[in-house]
Amino acid sequence: MTNDFKKKKSQKEQTFGDVMRSQGVSRRSFLKFCAATASMMAMSPAMIPKIAHALENARRPSVIWLSFQECTGCTESLTRAHTATIESLIFDHISLDYHHTLQAAAGHAAEEAREAAMEENYGKYLLVVDGSIPMGNPGYSTIAGISNYDMLMETAKGAAAIIAVGTCATYGGIPHANPNPTGAVSVNDLIKDKPIINVPGCPPIPVVITGVLTHFLTFGTIPELDHLGRPKVFYGQSIHDRCYRRPFYDKGLFAETFDDEGAKKGWCLYKLGCKGPTTYNACATTKWNNGTSWPIEAGHPCLGCSEPDFWDGGGFYKSLSMPTENITQTAIYTAAGAVAAGVAIGAMNKSKKNSAIAAHDKTTIDDLEK
């Protein structure tokens, strides 16, 4: 196959190898990426050539991206590749046939693009969803006059697999926060008959989505998932267990405020409300912004954004061992009520005792002689 011939290939027929070569990526750096991916996803080194081979020959998969009740933060996160990395090429490689924020088309043209992609790749396309679906009233969120629910159900029918991106799509997220005014639900609340990969986070780490895509391109299957539908390779361990500040927790050395000695020395942020102990995500190992840093390294406690209902945990700065309700007030009111109740019950007991004494007949000699 000559280079000229390859250039004549239509964009849709291009393999990932073609895309890489056209971008001037060397084979050496490609193999490095494959090795990094294999290690990141806890695969054996024997898988590296397989990943390389499969990726090189992978055709552009059609991807339809639906955005429902969301803030576009997930898209912002996933498209924030600062340099032309191979990870970003993965994004370039997929045929993103429909995405509100990124596509040029608008209105009917946009919807036609979605319908065309669905028809052309029926049963084969990947569906990516960010945002929750309002079930309270279909009018709360519509696209081109179609309710989120209808669009999701229609598009999901022909999907090979669904990737729910962000905490809103995976668990309902912020729209689902108490009192959930729109009746927001997650993708897997509605769809039961398709493989769904949950990639939670507010927003999720970009490398997690590229890892999932790489897995799908390489094996044509979805990675192993945990009980909440999250890829185990990224969500298998808690922030707390991989946190570089963990030794301070174990020793009982905590920052008490954001600017005390403990904070300056980089001690554990548990007392400042860190949700690391109950949060499963890859932040502690992959970090953010091309591995620059992550919230705890920047001195802020983990908010627990990749867990369900992270918004309803009683406040981001309340530590996990603290009650979420105002227990002081509860205790005072209870004590006041209980004192009144206790005195009343005591008085009742006393009157019972007194009446028992009054009703007590003394036994006389006469009684005994009867």
**Residues forming the site for other proteins (CB under 8 A):** 171, 227-228, 238, 240-241, 249-252, 254, 270-271, 277-278, 280, 304, 307-310, 312-314, 318-325, 327-328, 330-331, 334-335, 337-339, 341-343, 345-347, 349-350, 353
CB of 159 to other proteins, least distance (A): 25
Nearer residue to other proteins within complex by CB, 79 or 330 = 330
CB of 340 to other proteins, least distance (A): 9
CB of 344 to other proteins, least distance (A): 9
Cis amide bond preceding 138, omega within 30: no
Nearer residue to other proteins within complex by CB, 16 or 249 = 249
CB of 204 to other proteins, least distance (A): 17
Nearer residue to other proteins within complex by CB, 44 or 329 = 329
Nearer residue to other proteins within complex by CB, 101 or 334 = 334
Nearer residue to other proteins within complex by CB, 227 or 370 = 227
Nearer residue to other proteins within complex by CB, 23 or 330 = 330
Nearer residue to other proteins within complex by CB, 100 or 246 = 246
CB of 50 to other proteins, least distance (A): 32
Neighbours of 283 (CB within 10 A): 25
Looking at this protein, which amino acid is placed at residue 211?
A: G
CB of 128 to other proteins, least distance (A): 23
CB of 81 to other proteins, least distance (A): 31
